[in-house]
Structure 1
Amino acid sequence: MSLPDDELLQRMRKRQAPTSALLGMELVALDSAAGTCRFRMEAVPRLCNPMGNLQGGIIATALDDAAATACIVKAGRRVGVPTIEFKVSFYGPAPMNSEVFFDGRVLKLGRTITFAEADMTNADGKLLARLSTSVMLVEVEGPGHFVEEGASDQQKGNTP
């Protein structure tokens, strides 16, 4: 049985993917019927390149997490979503200390393979990057690997 979106949002905010926790991504919205989600993140200095912008690999990781979360939300059941392939296009920089958003959406939910996208925008809504991906939906057994709300920096992997 599927949870209402407000309950699903609260549950997913309490048990976060380790990479989302590491990057400081905050899940702020989701719509299970549409297969969409939105994360908010600060471009903190430790995630930036020497030019003072959010590093491309960090962006790709955050976009991948947003697309995967949209797939999980749309599936309506407990699934893992290993990435089969993805492509990222960069349209503009995300300067250090700026706020950015990652919007994931399912394009086509299949029984095994799902197609999704995710966009990174700035606070003004300007498109900065887009990821296109295909993922495999797999049943998850056991507790999974999550970071619990209120976990220490060591548990999140944020120790030097």
Structure 2
Amino acid sequence: MDATEVEEGRVSFTITTRPDFANPLGAVHGGICATLLDSVMGCAVHSTLGPGVGYSTLELKVNYIRTVPTDGTRLVGTGTVLHSGRSTATAEGRIVDERGRLVAHGTTTCLIHQPQRGAHP
């Protein structure tokens, strides 16, 4: 994955499909899109957090819209924060192909890990 846009609350990464991404039917495995969505949505959440504050994915929902070939298609995933609170954050994500067609979309809930008082890094 390559980062193409990083700003507070919004992150975009690209990935280029290849044959070893194939599922048994020869198309890109759904886990590739799930990983891209988890990455952009999680990093979008991370971009809103202060120093020493961490996060982990608590829930991930993915909707697959179209089959993606393994022929070097460039996919762009974008994650956008919807809410960033003290204990949880939510974000939505979209993946489009090089023609701008929606491939998959999803949402996430992240658990926010506040630094412990008195703890040393």
TM-score range, shorter chain: 0.7 to 0.9
Equivalent in the alignment of 2:48: 74
Equivalent in the alignment of 2:35: 61
CA drift at 1:52: 2.6
Query: Considering only aligned residues, what root-mean-square deviation do their CA atoms show, in Å?
Result: 1.6
* CA deviation map 1:63-92 (0-9, x unaligned): 111100000112243433211112110001
Distance 1:90 1:75 in 2: 29
Distance 1:128 1:78 in 2: 34
- Unpaired runs of 5+ residues, structure 1, are 1-24, 143-160
Distance 2:52 2:21 in 1: 30
Amino acid at match of 1:41: I
Higher helix share: 1
Q: Which has the higher contact order (CA 8 A, sep 6+)?
A: 2
- Asked if the contact 1:67–1:106 (Cα under 8 Å) also holds between the matched residues in 2, the reply is yes
Match of 2:97 among 109, 122, 126: 122
2:2 pairs with 1:26: yes
- Unpaired runs of 5+ residues, structure 2, are none
Q: CA 1:75–1:54 in 2, change beyond 3 Å: closer, same or farther?
A: same
* CA deviation map 1:17-63 (0-9, x unaligned): xxxxxxxx10111111xx00100101111112133321012211221
Count of matched residue positions in the alignment of Structure 1 and Structure 2: 116
CA drift at 1:117: 1.0
Equivalent in the alignment of 1:7: none
Percent of aligned pairs with the same amino acid:
29
Equivalent in the alignment of 1:103: 78
